[in-house]
Chain A
Amino acid sequence: MAFKALRRGARAVANAVLDPVAELGRSGLKALAGLGRAHLLLLHILAGSAEVLWRPRLLLAQVFNVGVLSVLIVAVSGLFVGMVLALQGFYVLSQFGAEESLGVMVAASLVRELGPVVTALLVAGRAGSALTAEIGLMKATEQLAGLEMMAVDPVRRILTPRFYGGLIAMPLLVALFSAVGVLGGYFVGVGLLGVDDGAFWSQMQSKVDFREDVVNGVIKGLVFGVVVTWIALFQGHDSTPTSAGVSRATTRAVVHAALAVLALDFVLTALMFGN
């Protein structure tokens, strides 16, 4: 009797230890399978690249969807971020009597980091979530299956143009964000805080390098464009075709895209500006 109880206790302890391990293994496998599906989907999307050139109108519509429709939110955010940068930067720089370098500080922070990262986060929230919901609903309402029954590959016809739309729009939005941000910094720094106009621009011009800073920033934008759009499209395409499934997929798309952008930013920064 006592032996039996002991054995039951031992099994309970073993289960308490092993169950989480098994659960960890299961979710690990699930994540890996998802990653595999995401890569297969990316290959499928890329396989349709040639058709995008054939149907420029589809592509244009998506550049409009992701790009033009995000212009306002990106520009306004850029303006405020630039203005805050000038305020904060002025406070620090004035302690060293280096207010003249405000232009460099604002422009470099924007072009190197804040422009690409904040734009990517904004696009993930504005356009990425919309893409996921659109694709997920098309799947739930059998529109994708309907296309397939018309002998039209829905990945190539629906997903590929959206992918390239994001890819093209993102670097442009990044450039817009940085440019408007610099203007915001100028208004606050020169207009409000009395930094010398000529010093603001000339220091910026001499210290911010085109190849090193601007091009690298645009490359970041391009990479983030791929990642954000890819994640959004995958989540939509992989969603459970129910209302709850699509809503979960939309949340996941934004969260995963944000995390991926921040993590990738670290990697890219280390590679680009590391030494």
Chain B
Amino acid sequence: MTAVTVGSGPAPVSGALTDQAPGACAADAAESECLVRIRGLRFSHGPRVIFDDVDLDIRRGSVTAVMGPSGTGKTTLLKLISGQLRPDAGTIEVDGEPVHALRQSALFELRRRMGMLFQSGALLTDLSVFDNVAYPLREHLRLSPPVVRKLVLLKLEAVGLRGARDLMPNELSGGMARRVALARAIALDPMMILYDEPFTGQDPISMGVLVSLIRQLNDASRLTSIVVSHDVRETASIADYIYVISNGRVMAAGTPATIAAERSEWVRQFMDGLPDGPVHFHYPAPDLAADLLTRGVG
């Protein structure tokens, strides 16, 4: 096993992809083993560089966590993988298909095999819970109403909300909305689910429910899951493999055990939630005294 070496400053990991831990693909892994393969990814929002030469693999059947501080581009990464955004450079392959180069029809074909759980849930607010879960089924499959009903109830049962089928989205708590969105995401039996901050803003109980739900769904339906989060402990508890990203680079990668044993100060600070360390509490700014003495209104 290659040791992951990261300096105290923001330095990318070079040896991470040769790490043979369960969860990572080998550099030359067969396509059947590797569901997502990202190479040389560069992306910027205007002048702001979000990703600068990122390599990342997601192994089939695994739960892979992508962690990093807020604003590092975790949501952006999911949008790139699902083709909602296009990279400036580099390649993103999902199930052997180059997402970054697909036309809309091919992309939509691929998306039927992907589910995404948005940070907000993104439920259609003028449809009931039942109709929200039924939406993708009615859109894409020609099923009779009784079959749709059975499927929807099964999916709702899987997230424990069969009894909430007649509620409207505004009558749901945050945790329930996220579970309904999850039921909708698995409605078409996708091969992969992307979770964007599934635990944020959840009380401890619904957090625990979601944590075990993600793992259960992954193993029971032979899914591949990508969980993007900054909730370190919860995410590490269900992940097979973890990427830590910051400043547009992969800072560390490995199994939860490897990451826990990681000695780099930066990764330690992030994983242990220390207020100060290589990452400073203050956003970069000129000296305070000089700033206060500057004349002007800006």
Contact = CB atoms under 8 A, between A and B. Distances in A.
A143 B124 contact: yes
B139 interface: yes
Nearest to B118: A142
A142 B112 CA distance: 18
A149 B116 contact: yes
Contacts of B114: 149
B84 A150 contact: no
Interface of B: 82, 84, 104, 108-109, 111-112, 114-116, 118-120, 122-125, 135-136, 139-140, 181, 184, 188
* Most chain A C-beta atoms within 10 Å of own C-beta, residue among B122, B124, B135: B122
A151 B84 CA distance: 11
A150 B139 contact: yes
Q: Is the interface of B mostly helix, strand, loop or mixed?
A: mixed
Interface in A125-163: 141-143, 145-153
B123 A146 contact: yes
Contacts of A149: 82, 84, 111, 114-116, 118, 122
B108 A151 contact: yes
Contacts of A151: 108-109, 111-112, 136, 139-140
B123 A143 contact: yes
Given A151-B109, A151-B111, A142 B84 contact: no
Contacts of A142: 118-120, 122
Contacts of B84: 145, 148-149
Contact of B122 (A143, A152, A153): A143
Nearest 6 A-B pairs (CB), nearest first? Answer: A146-B122, A151-B108, A142-B122, A151-B111, A149-B116, A150-B136
A145 B118 contact: yes
A149 B123 CA distance: 12
B76 to A, nearest CB: 13
Contacts of A153: 104, 108
Interface residues of A, number: 12
Contacts of B109: 151
Contacts of A150: 111, 135-136, 139, 184, 188
B118 A146 contact: yes
Nearest to B187: A150
Interface of A: 141-143, 145-153
Nearest to B109: A151
A145 B118 CA distance: 9
A194 to B, nearest CB: 53
A152 B122 CA distance: 14
Contacts of A147: 124
Contacts of B181: 146
Contacts of B184: 150
A47 to B, nearest CB: 11
B100 to A, nearest CB: 16
B169 to A, nearest CB: 10
Nearest to A141: B120
Contacts of A146: 116, 118, 122-124, 181
* Most chain B C-beta atoms within 10 Å of own C-beta, residue among A142, A147, A148, A151: A151
29 contacts: A141-B122, A141-B125, A142-B120, A142-B122, A143-B122, A143-B123, A143-B125, A145-B84, A145-B122, A146-B118, A146-B122, A146-B123, A146-B124, A148-B84, A148-B111, A149-B84, A149-B114, A149-B115, A149-B116, A150-B135, A150-B136, A150-B188, A151-B109, A151-B111, A151-B112, A152-B135, A152-B139, A153-B104, A153-B108
* Most chain B C-beta atoms within 10 Å of own C-beta, residue among A143, A145, A150: A150
Nearest to B107: A151
A152 B116 CA distance: 13
Contacts of B116: 146, 149
Nearest to B184: A150
A37 B136 CA distance: 29
A150 B122 CA distance: 11
A145 B119 CA distance: 12
A150 B136 CA distance: 6
A148 B104 CA distance: 10
Nearest to A148: B84
Contacts of B108: 151, 153
A266 to B, nearest CB: 39
Contacts of B122: 141-143, 145-146, 149
B74 to A, nearest CB: 15
A40 B174 CA distance: 36
A147 B184 CA distance: 11
A141 B126 CA distance: 13
A108 to B, nearest CB: 43
A215 B124 CA distance: 40
A35 B135 CA distance: 33
A153 B115 CA distance: 15
Contacts of A148: 84, 111
B20 to A, nearest CB: 33
A149 to B, nearest CB: 4
Contacts of B124: 143, 146-147
B33 to A, nearest CB: 25
Given A149-B82, A151-B139, 20 more contacts: A141-B120, A141-B125, A143-B125, A145-B118, A145-B122, A146-B118, A146-B122, A146-B123, A146-B124, A147-B124, A149-B111, A149-B122, A150-B139, A150-B184, A150-B188, A151-B112, A151-B136, A151-B140, A152-B136, A152-B139
